[in-house]
Amino acid sequence: MLKSLAEKILGSKKPAIARGISLVENESKQAGELLKLLYKHTGNAYLIGITGPPGAGKSTLTNCLTKILREKGFKVGIICVDPTSPFTGGALLGDRIRMQELGIDEDIFIRSMATRGSLGGLSKKAKEASEILDASGKDFIILETVGVGQSELDIAQTADTTIVVLVPESGDAVQTMKAGLMEIGDIFVINKSDRDGSDALGVALRTMLHLKMTKESDRQIPVVKTVASKNKNVGELYDFIILHKEYLMKNGKLAKKRKENLLKQINLLVNNKLENKFWTAGKKKELEENIEKISERELTPYDFVDNLFYSGN
Amino acid sequence: MLKSLAEKILGSKKPAIARGISLVENESKQAGELLKLLYKHTGNAYLIGITGPPGAGKSTLTNCLTKILREKGFKVGIICVDPTSPFTGGALLGDRIRMQELGIDEDIFIRSMATRGSLGGLSKKAKEASEILDASGKDFIILETVGVGQSELDIAQTADTTIVVLVPESGDAVQTMKAGLMEIGDIFVINKSDRDGSDALGVALRTMLHLKMTKESDRQIPVVKTVASKNKNVGELYDFIILHKEYLMKNGKLAKKRKENLLKQINLLVNNKLENKFWTAGKKKELEENIEKISERELTPYDFVDNLFYSGN
């Protein structure tokens, strides 16, 4: 049955892709088996990460970019990651509009992944969902995150090209820097750039990127001004993505980046497995029962952990 | 022998404290045993974290603050954490001057901790060293970090009060925000505040903190202007530390913060133990031998990790 599901995914059947991603999302035991079957068909898609503060217009930008990619004949997968809730704020409405606009196209697959609670597992799940889309023959996969939490930065960083989207409103530049976004962007976008403050943000960004560049990079990090709601300048953004892709491929950096991500993925798989195996219900209960004692210095954390390793639970 | 070492540490003997911290630093097996013996005597010291970009004058500030604490009759421990090298830049000279100035005082203990390589272990080691100082009867322990890397932020965050030190030079505010320092400061210091740009940085900081506050805190985060080299305004900084301490103690936040840190410490102990046990030389070799195959899609990371868990190595 899994074999037939895998074949349908390889044949790019939408219901099969949806089913596969659900298995991953629910941490089903079958997910691992499915990913094993698909793995040798992956590695062909190019991953684009889109991140930035809420309200920066990332969804609209993703839509415009997807249309351009489709015009060029590429197949596109979109994973929208929202760690807080399935439908925060305008996301529900936005998703429905998107489904109507893009979802009827056979060569576009859109999926929102929402995980309440287990934040740590989210980057693992997003990576695995992108493998399913990759195997289904998508040429480009867009990983769009809703906010700028740590796990969302992790996700954006697993992409080949990471795009950071900002808006000219004061405070946003500050939020951006606070959130560590400066470190991870391969391309910066100032969206809603018809608003006041766009030029100032552009200058601030370029100055900061210049400070960074002189130390870290042999490539000028572009800053693109767009108005996604009016489809303005998204073509320029597309060009910069392709330029970055060529840059990475020319000097072996893509292979290097992907191998580093693979090592991270393996470490994550190992740690997940180790922690899951270790923290049985019995051990969690032991921690709960003893934390007060440890706090009160009646038991040392060192003895507690030692005992935990030898307890039968 | 360990018991006698523990007794000497409890008696605040400097050579014993130094020996204990060395055991921790070298990840000696005896370290765990020593920490077990000392644990019930900990929890009395108040931890101050001091962090900020290199060259902000953190050492000088630490010295001034230590003198004030000594004038008030408090015993002080100082751990200076430098993850890159034992003596980067001026640290060697600075340390020697400090030793001469402060180190002859029986109730001050200063130690530089430098760990090349294993960054992950550094916050664990700094925490354990602070437990030794705590057990030795120090009233205040200052954890001073040299730079603003992730592990240094982790260390600063284990403190009860975290102080972020900045200087008016342009670029520094930017670096600060990039590095995620805005999130962790309980008190901000603009040191070298007799230089140009001090007022502008103060305004920028207060604006940012105000934006943050409205969302996150019921307490106004102070910004203190000092000139540590002239011992100017460090008394004001001391007052703000005491105010923060009283704030945390009054509403049970200190106990809550320390319990959260304890849970983090236990998780860290467990993960360290799990990873150390798991990644045997044999398993590391297996990863090395197979990473190319996995990259080339001849082997899936899922099968590889599964096999790793069942291999005898």
CATH number at residue B48: 3.40.50.300
Residue A174 sits in the same domain as residue A287: no
**Separation CA B128–CA B204 (nearest Å):** 37
Residue A179 sits in the same domain as residue A303: no
Enumerate the β-bridge partners of residue B143.
B49, B79
* Average pLDDT taken over every residue of chain B: 84
Q: B42-96, pLDDT tens digit by residue?
A: 999 999 999 887 678 888 999 999 999 999 999 999 998 865 443 333 344 455 5
Listed in order, strand segments (DSSP E) in chain B are: 46-51, 76-82, 108-114, 140-145, 161-166, 187-190, 223-225
| Residue where the block lists tokens 């953190």 | B58
Q: How far is CA A124 from CA A267, B65, B214, in A?
A: 11, 45, 34
Query: Between B32, B208, B270, which is nearest A174 by CB?
Result: B208
**DSSP SS3 for A261:** helix
* Domain final residue pick, B253, B269, B287: B253
Residue A170 sits in the same domain as residue A286: no
Residue A229 sits in the same domain as residue A289: no
Residue A214 sits in the same domain as residue A122: yes
pLDDT value of residue B93: 45
Cβ contact (<8 Å) for B275 and A278? no
Residue A115 sits in the same domain as residue A244: yes
Residues in B touching A306 (Cβ below 8 Å): 32
**Separation CA B302–CA A92 (nearest Å):** 34
Which of the residues B302, B308, B311, B313 would you substitute to probe the A interface, choosing the one with the greatest number of A C-beta atoms within 10 Å? B302
- How much is the average pLDDT of B130-154? 84
Residues in A touching B275 (Cβ below 8 Å): 271, 274
Residue B213 sits in the same domain as residue B305: no
* Average pLDDT taken over every residue of chain A: 84
| Residue where the block lists tokens 């916050």 | B123
Look at residue B116 and tell me whether its pLDDT is greater than 60: no
Rounded to 5 degrees, what angle do the CA atoms B101, B106, B111 make? 65
**Separation CA B148–CA B157 (nearest Å):** 12
pLDDT value of residue A268: 81
- b/e burial code for range A281-300 (CB count within 10 A of at least 16 → b): eeeeebbeebbeebbeeebb
Query: Between B171, B262, B309, which is nearest A294 by CB?
Result: B262
pLDDT class of B117 with cuts at 50, 70, 90: very low
| Residue where the block lists tokens 């765990």 | B32
Cβ contact (<8 Å) for A39 and B171? no
Task: Tell me if A44 sits within 8 A of A134, measured CB to CB.
Answer: yes
pLDDT value of residue B122: 73
Residue B249 sits in the same domain as residue B288: no
- How much is the average pLDDT of A180-199? 85
Q: What is the pTM of this model?
A: 0.67
- Domain for residue A14, yes or no? no
**Separation CA A292–CA B213 (nearest Å):** 31
Residues in A touching B308 (Cβ below 8 Å): 270
Full DSSP string of A10-27: HTT-HHHHHHHHHHHHTT
- Domain for residue B160, yes or no? yes
Q: B232-277, pLDDT tens digit by residue?
A: 999 999 999 999 999 999 988 999 999 988 998 898 889 888 988 8
Terminal-to-terminal C-alpha distance of chain B: 36
CA distance B301 to chain A (A): 6
Cβ contact (<8 Å) for B180 and A178? yes
- Domain for residue B261, yes or no? no
Q: Are strands A223-225 and B161-166 parallel, antiparallel or unpaired?
A: unpaired
* Domain final residue pick, B210, B238, B253: B253
Residue B135 sits in the same domain as residue B238: yes
- Domain for residue B22, yes or no? no
CA distance A277 to chain B (A): 10
CA distance B175 to chain A (A): 9
Residue B287 sits in the same domain as residue B226: no
Query: Between B174, B262, B302, which is nearest A36 by CB?
Result: B302
- Domain for residue A228, yes or no? yes
Residue B160 dihedral angles phi and psi, to the nearest 5°: -75, -45
Listed in order, strand segments (DSSP E) in B31-152 are: 46-51, 76-82, 108-114, 140-145
Cβ contact (<8 Å) for B300 and A36? yes
Rounded to 5 degrees, what angle do the CA atoms B215, A152, A149 make? 20
Residue B182 sits in the same domain as residue B300: no
The gap from C-alpha A142 to its chain's centroid, in whole angstroms, comes to 8
pLDDT value of residue A179: 52
**Percent of chain B's residues with pLDDT above 70:** 81
- Residue (of B312, B56, B89, B58) closest to B201 by Cα position: B56
Q: How far is CA A42 from CA A39, A75, A104, A283, A284, in A?
A: 5, 14, 25, 38, 37
pLDDT value of residue B16: 97
- Domain for residue B34, yes or no? no
- Residue (of A161, A162, A185) closest to A173 by Cα position: A185
Look at residue A126 and tell me whether its pLDDT is greater than 80: yes
Task: Tell me if A80 sits within 8 A of A142, measured CB to CB.
Answer: no
**What's the token pair of residue A122?**
């989210």
- Domain for residue B128, yes or no? yes
Query: How many domains are there within chain B?
Result: 2
CA distance A138 to chain B (A): 17
**Separation CA A132–CA B205 (nearest Å):** 45
Cβ contact (<8 Å) for B40 and A171? no
The gap from C-alpha A290 to its chain's centroid, in whole angstroms, comes to 37
- Domain for residue B4, yes or no? no
Task: Tell me if A98 sits within 8 A of A110, measured CB to CB.
Answer: yes
Q: A211-251, pLDDT tens digit by residue?
A: 665 445 678 889 999 999 999 999 999 999 999 999 999 98
Terminal-to-terminal C-alpha distance of chain A: 35
pLDDT value of residue A258: 93
pLDDT class of B99 with cuts at 50, 70, 90: low
User: In 10 A of CB B257, how many CB atoms?
Assistant: 15
Residues in A touching B298 (Cβ below 8 Å): 40
**Separation CA B205–CA B228 (nearest Å):** 19
Look at residue A20 and tell me whether its pLDDT is greater than 90: yes
Among A100-114, A226-240, B166-180, B215-229, the minimum mean pLDDT is found in B166-180
The domain containing residue A84 runs over which residues? 43-253
Cβ contact (<8 Å) for B266 and A274? no
pLDDT class of B132 with cuts at 50, 70, 90: very high
Rounded to 5 degrees, what angle do the CA atoms B83, B85, B91 make? 100
**Percent of chain A's residues with pLDDT above 70:** 81
Q: Which residue has the higher pLDDT, B227 or B103?
A: B227
User: In 10 A of CB A146, how many CB atoms?
Assistant: 24
Cβ contact (<8 Å) for B43 and A208? no
Residue A248 sits in the same domain as residue A115: yes
Q: What is the CA radius of gyration of chain A?
A: 21
CA distance A70 to chain B (A): 28
